[in-house]
């Protein structure tokens, strides 16, 4: 999948192992995946960005080949803040004090938290097909709740959701991929889809993904409430699928203006998984954005 990339997986000072690959030369860019995927989602985008940047792709804590600590009762060891700490430590260990940050889905939420907690290190931010976690939790209506039902199911106390998923993991997660993506499984690269399946068939990964959503409801929402008076100040790209749930139900520019001060809006064909569906178009637009902010200095 990343045969031309250097394996830069490492054990952090916390003891947490993060699986990562890197390629290219130039300013550093960190790419973060979402649910229920792995770093493999960037396999066709990352090499194109690596023509001008040092690109790092990593599996979030609990996902893919990264470590999966046993969830605590309130899942606070799967908070976006801790996931962000993992990634900040990874980039520091690789020698990247400053870096551009791009995240899709859960990776976008981790990236948003990192832009608040590590504002002095983030050159630019791109959040792909999300509204802020705090905004989403406080604006659910019946239409969004129907589309994003998994937020409520996965966040139920353990071991209920993971036990149910373990009975048919492919059916559950492929329903997620096709339900939000507005397209069939054929839009996903076969090698990437095989990597997703390999990961989500692991019981520890299933438990970790449930903990991720449980932490959002119990921990991340409180962290966000404490940060409401602080906005992201670095250049922020809000990039979304034109046919996705977020675009259909939210004025993304208006929502993000409450959380960031320097926003650029960009849409793409397709639904939530437009990166898998249109990797070359996505790489082109991300490259344009990164070059615009290549020499930007963190606040």
Which residue in the block uniquely carries the two structure tokens 């050159």? Answer: 123
Cα 122 from Cα 110, distance rounded (Å): 13
251 catalytically annotated: no
112 catalytically annotated: no
CB atoms within 10 A of CB 191: 11
Exactly one of 65, 86, 105, 220 is catalytic; which is it?
A: 105
SS3 of the chain: CCCCCEECCEECCCCCEECEEEECCCCEEEEECCCCCCHHHHCCCHHHHCCCCEEEEECCCCCCCCCCCCCCCCCHHHCHHHHHHHHHHHHHHCCCCCEEEEEECHHHHHHHHHHHHCCCCEEEEEEECCCCHHHHHCCCCHHHHHHCCHHHHHCCCCCHHHHHHHCCHHHHHHHHHHHHHCCCHHHCCHHHHHHHHHHHCCHHHHHHHHHHHHHHHHHHHHHHHHCCCCCECCCEEEEEECCCHHHHHCCHHHHHCCCECCEEEEEECCCCCHHHHCHHHHHHHHHHHHHHCCCCCCC
Exactly one of 112, 129, 272, 276 is catalytic; which is it?
A: 272
Which residue in the block uniquely carries the two structure tokens 């100040």? Answer: 233
Which residues are identified as catalytic? 105, 272
């Amino acid at each position: 999948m990343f045969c031309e990339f250097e394996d830069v997986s490492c054990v952090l000072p916390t003891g947490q192992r993060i699986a990562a690959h890197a390629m290219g030369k130039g300013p550093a860019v960190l790419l973060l995946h979402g649910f229920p995927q792995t770093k493999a989602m960037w396999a066709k985008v990352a090499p194109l960005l690596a023509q001008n940047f040092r690109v790092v792709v990593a599996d979030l804590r609990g996902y893919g080949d990264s470590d999966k600590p046993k969830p605590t009762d309130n899942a606070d060891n799967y908070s976006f803040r801790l996931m962000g700490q993992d990634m900040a430590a990874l980039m520091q260990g690789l020698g990247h004090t400053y870096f551009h940050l791009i995240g899709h889905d859960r990776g976008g939420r981790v990236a948003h938290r990192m832009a608040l907690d590590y504002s002095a290190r983030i050159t630019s931010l791109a959040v792909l097909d999300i509204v802020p976690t705090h905004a989403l939790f406080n604006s659910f209506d019946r239409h969004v709740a129907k589309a994003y039902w998994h937020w409520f199911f996965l966040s139920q106390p353990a071991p209920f959701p993971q036990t149910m998923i373990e009975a048919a993991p492919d059916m559950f997660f492929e329903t997620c991929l096709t339900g939000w993506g507005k397209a069939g499984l054929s839009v996903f690269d076969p090698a990437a889809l095989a990597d997703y399946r390999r990961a989500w068939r692991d019981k520890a990964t299933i438990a970790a993904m449930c903990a991720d959503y449980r932490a959002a409801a119990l921990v991340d929402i409180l962290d966000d409430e404490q940060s409401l008076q602080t906005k992201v100040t670095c250049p922020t790209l809000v990039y979304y699928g034109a046919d996705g749930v977020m675009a259909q139900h939210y004025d993304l520019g208006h929502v993000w203006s409450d959380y960031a001060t320097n926003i650029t809006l960009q849409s793409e064909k397709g639904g939530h998984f437009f990166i898998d569906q249109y990797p070359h178009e996505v790489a082109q637009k991300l490259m344009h954005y990164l070059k615009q902010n290549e020499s930007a200095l963190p606040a």
